[in-house]
C-alpha cells in the first residue's frame, strides 16, 4: 500500500494553522477584555460639550423683566418711556413732550412725579426726562446694543397703546437702518423696523430683545392711510442714539449703536 504522504502533510499544516489562529483570537479577546484594548482608557476625560447660547426669554418673561422700568409719560400727548439709569432718568419720544407746559411721569409702583426735560434730540425724536421725585426703589432697564440686532430677531414692544397701559406685543426685526418721516415732517434715519404691533400711545416705549435688553425707543409707525393705526411697520430709534439725547451731561452713559 502506498500512502500519499504529500496529501497527509498538507492536511496537517492546514489544521495546525487553523488551531493557531483560533488560539491567537482567543488571547486577543482575553487581553481586550482585561486591559480594555480598543476602548478609551477607564477614567479618560470625556469630550467637553460644545457651548450653547443662553435660552431666549419668552414674551411673558421679557414683560416681567421690563414692567418695573416702563413708565407713562403725559405731556403734549400720552405715551410711554423707560427708566434708563438709577437716578430715574427716563427716555421717551420727543413728540410726546414737545412744547408741553407740564410733563408728568407715572412709574410702575404708582409714583407720579412732575418731570423736566433733561436733554433732547428732535432730529431723532428722542427726549430725556428727569422726574422731580423718583420711586423709593428705582428699577432701570438693562440696556442692550442695537448694533447686534439682525433681521428676523425676536423683539417685544411695551407701551400704552390707545391708552391701554402696559400693552405688550411681540414680533421680529423687519429691517435695519431704515428712514421714515416723523411728526411735523422730521426725517428720521438709522431706525429699527419691526412688526410688533404699536399704535398711538406706544411712542417712547422700549423695544426689547429676547434677552430682556432694551435696544430701541419706539417713535413711529408707517401707515399709507390717514388712520394712524398699525399696519405692520413700526420704527424705533436705536438705544445708543437715544442715549445721546442726554449728551449735555445729564444723560446716562451706555452702549452705543
47-65 confidence digits (pLDDT tens): 444 444 578 999 999 999 9
User: Which pLDDT score, from 0 to 100, does residue 62 have?
Assistant: 98
Residue-wise pLDDT tens for the chain (257 aa)? 333 333 334 444 444 544 555 545 554 544 444 444 444 444 434 444 444 457 899 999 999 999 999 999 999 999 999 999 999 999 999 999 999 999 999 999 999 999 999 999 999 999 999 999 999 999 999 999 999 999 999 999 999 999 999 999 999 999 999 999 877 778 899 999 999 999 999 999 999 999 999 999 999 988 877 777 888 899 999 999 999 876 443 444 333 33
Q: What is the pLDDT of residues 54-111, one digit of tens each?
A: 789 999 999 999 999 999 999 999 999 999 999 999 999 999 999 999 999 999 999 9
Query: Known catalytic residue: 125?
Result: yes
Q: Which long-range contacts (CB under 8 A, 24 or more apart) does 33-40 make?
A: none
Which domains can be identified in the chain, with CATH numbers?
59-246 (2.40.10.120)
User: Do 168 and 156 form a contact (C-beta atoms < 8 A)?
Assistant: yes
Options 69, 95, 202, 210, the catalytic residue: 95
Query: Known catalytic residue: 54?
Result: no
- As to burial, measured by CB atoms within 10 angstroms (0-12 exposed, 13-18 middle, 19+ buried), residue 131 is buried
- As to burial, measured by CB atoms within 10 angstroms (0-12 exposed, 13-18 middle, 19+ buried), residue 108 is middle
User: Do 127 and 90 form a contact (C-beta atoms < 8 A)?
Assistant: no
CB atoms within 10 A of CB 17: 10
Q: 97 CB contacts (<8 Å, ≥6 apart)?
A: 73, 75, 76, 103, 117, 127, 129
Options 69, 120, 202, 203, the catalytic residue: 203
Pairwise CA distance, residues 54 & 2, whole Å: 88
User: pTM for this one?
Assistant: 0.76
Pairwise CA distance, residues 183 & 162, whole Å: 17
Query: Known catalytic residue: 203?
Result: yes
Options 69, 113, 121, 125, the catalytic residue: 125
Residue 203 dihedral angles phi and psi, to the nearest 5°: -55, 135
Amino acid at each position: 500500500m502506498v500512502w500519499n504522504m504529500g496529501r497527509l502533510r498538507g492536511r496537517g499544516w492546514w489544521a495546525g494553522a487553523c488551531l493557531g489562529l483560533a488560539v491567537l483570537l482567543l488571547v486577543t479577546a482575553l487581553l481586550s477584555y482585561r486591559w480594555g484594548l480598543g476602548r478609551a482608557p477607564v477614567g479618560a476625560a470625556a469630550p467637553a460639550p460644545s457651548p450653547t447660547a443662553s435660552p431666549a426669554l419668552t414674551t411673558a418673561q421679557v414683560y416681567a423683566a421690563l414692567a418695573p422700568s416702563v413708565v407713562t409719560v403725559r405731556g403734549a400727548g400720552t405715551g410711554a418711556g423707560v427708566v434708563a439709569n438709577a437716578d430715574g432718568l427716563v427716555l421717551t419720544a420727543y413728540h410726546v413732550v414737545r412744547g408741553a407746559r407740564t410733563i408728568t411721569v407715572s412709574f410702575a409702583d404708582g409714583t407720579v412725579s412732575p418731570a423736566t426735560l433733561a436733554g433732547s434730540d428732535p432730529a431723532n425724536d428722542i427726549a430725556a426726562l428727569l422726574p422731580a421725585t423718583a420711586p423709593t426703589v428705582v428699577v432701570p432697564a438693562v440696556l442692550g446694543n442695537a448694533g447686534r440686532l439682525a433681521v428676523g430677531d425676536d423683539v417685544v414692544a411695551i407701551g400704552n397703546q390707545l391708552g391701554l397701559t402696559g400693552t405688550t406685543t411681540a414680533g421680529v426685526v423687519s429691517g435695519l437702518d431704515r428712514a421714515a418721516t416723523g411728526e411735523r415732517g422730521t426725517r428720521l434715519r438709522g431706525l429699527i423696523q419691526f412688526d410688533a404691533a404699536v399704535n398711538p400711545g406706544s411712542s417712547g416705549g422700549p423695544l426689547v430683545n429676547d434677552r430682556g435688553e432694551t435696544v430701541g425707543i419706539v417713535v413711529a409707525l408707517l401707515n399709507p392711510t390717514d388712520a394712524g393705526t398699525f399696519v405692520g411697520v413700526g420704527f424705533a430709534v436705536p438705544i445708543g442714539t437715544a442715549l445721546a439725547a442726554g449728551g449735555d451731561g445729564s444723560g446716562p452713559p451706555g452702549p452705543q449703536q
